[in-house]
Amino acid sequence: MIKEEQFDIYNEDGKWIGTAPRSEVHAKGYWHKSFHCWIIRDTEEGRKLLFQKRVSSKDTFPSCYDITAAGHLSAGETVQDAARELEEELGLAVPYSQLIPLVEVKEELYGEVNGVPFNDREISSVFGYLHAQPLYQYQLQQSEVQGLYEALLSDLIELFENKVPEVQATGIHSQNEGDPEALFMETIRAEQFVTRQPSYYLTIFEKLKEWKR
Protein backbone atom coordinates (compact mmCIF):
# COMPACT_ATOMS: atom_id res chain seq x y z
CA MET A 1 0.00 0.00 0.00
CA ILE A 2 1.35 3.42 -1.01
CA LYS A 3 1.84 5.69 2.01
CA GLU A 4 -0.13 8.93 1.73
CA GLU A 5 1.81 12.17 1.38
CA GLN A 6 2.17 14.14 4.62
CA PHE A 7 1.93 17.95 4.82
CA ASP A 8 3.00 20.40 7.51
CA ILE A 9 -0.09 22.23 8.76
CA TYR A 10 -0.49 25.73 10.23
CA ASN A 11 -2.98 27.83 12.16
CA GLU A 12 -4.54 31.09 10.97
CA ASP A 13 -1.45 33.02 12.10
CA GLY A 14 0.91 30.82 10.09
CA LYS A 15 2.26 28.98 13.12
CA TRP A 16 3.19 25.33 12.56
CA ILE A 17 0.85 23.00 14.46
CA GLY A 18 1.84 19.56 13.19
CA THR A 19 1.51 17.29 10.17
CA ALA A 20 -1.41 15.50 8.52
CA PRO A 21 -2.03 13.31 5.45
CA ARG A 22 -3.08 15.02 2.22
CA SER A 23 -6.66 13.72 2.27
CA GLU A 24 -7.21 14.94 5.83
CA VAL A 25 -5.66 18.34 5.05
CA HIS A 26 -8.10 18.87 2.17
CA ALA A 27 -11.08 17.40 4.03
CA LYS A 28 -10.63 19.47 7.19
CA GLY A 29 -9.26 22.64 5.60
CA TYR A 30 -5.91 22.81 7.38
CA TRP A 31 -3.61 25.60 6.22
CA HIS A 32 -0.58 24.22 4.35
CA LYS A 33 2.09 25.54 2.01
CA SER A 34 2.57 25.29 -1.73
CA PHE A 35 4.88 26.37 -4.55
CA HIS A 36 3.66 28.08 -7.74
CA CYS A 37 5.76 28.89 -10.79
CA TRP A 38 4.48 30.61 -13.94
CA ILE A 39 6.75 30.37 -17.00
CA ILE A 40 6.87 33.15 -19.58
CA ARG A 41 8.44 33.14 -23.06
CA ASP A 42 9.35 36.13 -25.19
CA THR A 43 8.44 35.73 -28.86
CA GLU A 44 8.14 37.93 -31.94
CA GLU A 45 4.41 38.19 -31.22
CA GLY A 46 5.02 39.34 -27.66
CA ARG A 47 5.45 37.85 -24.20
CA LYS A 48 3.56 34.59 -23.77
CA LEU A 49 2.49 32.74 -20.63
CA LEU A 50 2.58 28.98 -20.30
CA PHE A 51 -0.09 27.13 -18.32
CA GLN A 52 -0.97 23.48 -17.86
CA LYS A 53 -4.16 21.46 -17.99
CA ARG A 54 -4.59 19.24 -14.96
CA VAL A 55 -5.35 15.55 -15.50
CA SER A 56 -8.91 14.34 -14.95
CA SER A 57 -7.87 12.16 -11.99
CA LYS A 58 -6.80 15.07 -9.74
CA ASP A 59 -8.47 15.24 -6.33
CA THR A 60 -8.95 19.01 -6.70
CA PHE A 61 -10.00 20.89 -9.86
CA PRO A 62 -9.61 18.01 -12.35
CA SER A 63 -9.22 18.97 -16.03
CA CYS A 64 -8.87 22.69 -15.21
CA TYR A 65 -6.23 25.03 -16.58
CA ASP A 66 -3.70 25.95 -13.94
CA ILE A 67 -0.25 27.26 -13.02
CA THR A 68 2.59 26.15 -15.30
CA ALA A 69 4.05 24.04 -12.47
CA ALA A 70 2.98 23.84 -8.85
CA GLY A 71 2.80 21.54 -5.88
CA HIS A 72 2.38 21.20 -2.15
CA LEU A 73 5.32 21.24 0.22
CA SER A 74 5.66 17.83 1.82
CA ALA A 75 6.30 17.69 5.57
CA GLY A 76 9.76 19.06 6.34
CA GLU A 77 10.26 20.64 2.92
CA THR A 78 11.17 24.27 2.24
CA VAL A 79 10.00 26.27 -0.77
CA GLN A 80 13.51 25.82 -2.18
CA ASP A 81 12.96 22.06 -2.10
CA ALA A 82 9.58 22.43 -3.77
CA ALA A 83 11.17 23.98 -6.87
CA ARG A 84 11.58 20.29 -7.84
CA GLU A 85 8.05 20.56 -9.24
CA LEU A 86 9.43 22.17 -12.40
CA GLU A 87 11.52 19.09 -13.13
CA GLU A 88 8.86 16.60 -12.04
CA GLU A 89 5.99 18.11 -14.04
CA LEU A 90 7.84 19.68 -16.98
CA GLY A 91 11.28 18.01 -17.15
CA LEU A 92 12.90 21.39 -16.51
CA ALA A 93 15.79 21.47 -14.04
CA VAL A 94 16.01 25.08 -12.79
CA PRO A 95 18.11 26.29 -9.85
CA TYR A 96 15.90 27.97 -7.27
CA SER A 97 18.15 31.05 -7.44
CA GLN A 98 17.04 31.69 -11.04
CA LEU A 99 13.34 31.95 -10.20
CA ILE A 100 11.69 35.37 -9.99
CA PRO A 101 9.95 35.84 -6.61
CA LEU A 102 6.58 37.50 -7.22
CA VAL A 103 4.28 37.32 -4.20
CA GLU A 104 3.02 35.18 -1.32
CA VAL A 105 -0.72 34.56 -1.25
CA LYS A 106 -3.21 32.94 1.12
CA GLU A 107 -6.10 31.25 -0.63
CA GLU A 108 -9.14 29.26 0.38
CA LEU A 109 -10.35 27.12 -2.50
CA TYR A 110 -13.48 24.98 -2.26
CA GLY A 111 -15.05 22.36 -4.46
CA GLU A 112 -16.23 18.80 -4.86
CA VAL A 113 -14.81 15.92 -6.89
CA ASN A 114 -16.81 12.72 -7.42
CA GLY A 115 -19.08 13.63 -4.51
CA VAL A 116 -16.18 14.32 -2.14
CA PRO A 117 -15.94 17.96 -0.95
CA PHE A 118 -12.58 19.62 -0.42
CA ASN A 119 -11.37 22.76 1.36
CA ASP A 120 -7.91 23.65 0.06
CA ARG A 121 -6.41 26.39 2.25
CA GLU A 122 -2.94 27.24 0.97
CA ILE A 123 -0.13 29.65 1.75
CA SER A 124 1.60 29.85 -1.62
CA SER A 125 4.98 31.23 -2.63
CA VAL A 126 4.59 32.37 -6.24
CA PHE A 127 7.48 32.66 -8.71
CA GLY A 128 8.05 33.39 -12.37
CA TYR A 129 10.63 32.07 -14.80
CA LEU A 130 11.57 33.35 -18.25
CA HIS A 131 12.48 30.51 -20.59
CA ALA A 132 12.80 30.33 -24.39
CA GLN A 133 12.00 26.63 -24.81
CA PRO A 134 9.00 25.92 -27.11
CA LEU A 135 6.03 23.90 -25.85
CA TYR A 136 6.77 20.64 -27.61
CA GLN A 137 10.21 20.32 -26.00
CA TYR A 138 8.85 20.02 -22.46
CA GLN A 139 8.71 16.55 -20.92
CA LEU A 140 5.31 16.40 -19.26
CA GLN A 141 4.46 14.24 -16.26
CA GLN A 142 1.49 12.33 -17.68
CA SER A 143 0.14 11.40 -14.24
CA GLU A 144 -0.24 15.12 -13.41
CA VAL A 145 -0.27 17.16 -16.62
CA GLN A 146 -2.74 16.50 -19.43
CA GLY A 147 -1.37 19.23 -21.65
CA LEU A 148 0.70 22.40 -21.84
CA TYR A 149 -0.51 25.65 -23.41
CA GLU A 150 0.66 29.18 -24.10
CA ALA A 151 -1.12 32.41 -24.95
CA LEU A 152 -0.16 36.04 -25.15
CA LEU A 153 0.15 37.43 -21.64
CA SER A 154 -1.64 40.63 -22.69
CA ASP A 155 -4.59 38.55 -23.95
CA LEU A 156 -4.81 36.63 -20.67
CA ILE A 157 -4.82 39.89 -18.70
CA GLU A 158 -7.77 41.10 -20.77
CA LEU A 159 -9.49 37.76 -20.22
CA PHE A 160 -9.34 38.06 -16.43
CA GLU A 161 -10.32 41.72 -16.61
CA ASN A 162 -13.50 40.56 -18.41
CA LYS A 163 -12.60 42.66 -21.44
CA VAL A 164 -12.79 39.64 -23.76
CA PRO A 165 -14.83 36.42 -23.39
CA GLU A 166 -12.10 34.09 -24.63
CA VAL A 167 -8.56 33.89 -25.98
CA GLN A 168 -6.71 31.64 -28.39
CA ALA A 169 -3.92 29.43 -27.04
CA THR A 170 -1.49 26.98 -28.59
CA GLY A 171 -1.32 23.60 -26.87
CA ILE A 172 0.24 20.17 -26.88
CA HIS A 173 -1.04 17.00 -25.23
CA SER A 174 1.30 15.14 -22.90
CA GLN A 175 1.38 12.06 -25.14
CA ASN A 176 2.56 14.18 -28.10
CA GLU A 177 5.51 15.94 -26.44
CA GLY A 178 8.57 16.22 -28.67
CA ASP A 179 6.51 16.54 -31.86
CA PRO A 180 6.29 20.11 -33.20
CA GLU A 181 3.63 18.96 -35.68
CA ALA A 182 1.31 18.00 -32.81
CA LEU A 183 0.68 21.58 -31.67
CA PHE A 184 -2.94 22.69 -31.89
CA MET A 185 -5.06 25.77 -31.22
CA GLU A 186 -7.70 25.91 -28.49
CA THR A 187 -10.19 28.52 -27.31
CA ILE A 188 -9.73 29.30 -23.61
CA ARG A 189 -12.22 30.90 -21.19
CA ALA A 190 -11.51 32.24 -17.71
CA GLU A 191 -13.98 29.88 -16.04
CA GLN A 192 -11.93 26.91 -17.28
CA PHE A 193 -9.07 27.86 -14.96
CA VAL A 194 -8.88 26.79 -11.32
CA THR A 195 -11.44 29.01 -9.59
CA ARG A 196 -9.14 31.41 -7.80
CA GLN A 197 -9.98 35.06 -7.26
CA PRO A 198 -9.35 37.04 -10.49
CA SER A 199 -7.03 39.27 -8.43
CA TYR A 200 -4.64 36.32 -8.01
CA TYR A 201 -4.25 35.94 -11.76
CA LEU A 202 -4.17 39.67 -12.51
CA THR A 203 -1.61 40.52 -9.82
CA ILE A 204 0.79 37.85 -11.06
CA PHE A 205 0.20 38.44 -14.75
CA GLU A 206 0.84 42.18 -14.39
CA LYS A 207 4.08 41.50 -12.50
CA LEU A 208 5.22 39.10 -15.23
CA LYS A 209 4.27 41.60 -17.94
CA GLU A 210 6.38 44.33 -16.31
CA TRP A 211 9.36 42.13 -15.41
CA LYS A 212 12.55 42.90 -17.30
CA ARG A 213 15.77 40.91 -17.45
Asked if residue 1 is part of any domain, the answer here is no
Would you say residue 99 lies in a domain?
Answer: yes
| Residue numbers of the domain that contains 34 | 6-210
The answer as to whether 189 is a domain residue is: yes
Angle, CA 96 vertex, CA 138 and CA 75 arms, to 5°: 95
- Counting the structural domains of the chain, the total is 1
Q: What is the pLDDT of residues 80-108, one digit of tens each?
A: 999 999 999 999 999 999 999 999 999 99
Does residue 67 fall inside a structural domain?
yes
Q: Is the pLDDT of residue 134 over 90?
A: yes
Would residue 90 count as lying in a domain? yes
Q: Is residue 123 part of a domain?
A: yes
Predicted TM-score (pTM) of the model is 0.95
Contact 211, 103 (CB under 8 A): no
CATH of the domain at 67: 3.90.79.10
* CB-based burial label for 101 (10 Å; 0-12, 13-18, 19+): exposed
Count other C-beta atoms under 10 Å from residue 188's C-beta. 20
Q: What is the mean pLDDT of residues 31-49?
A: 97
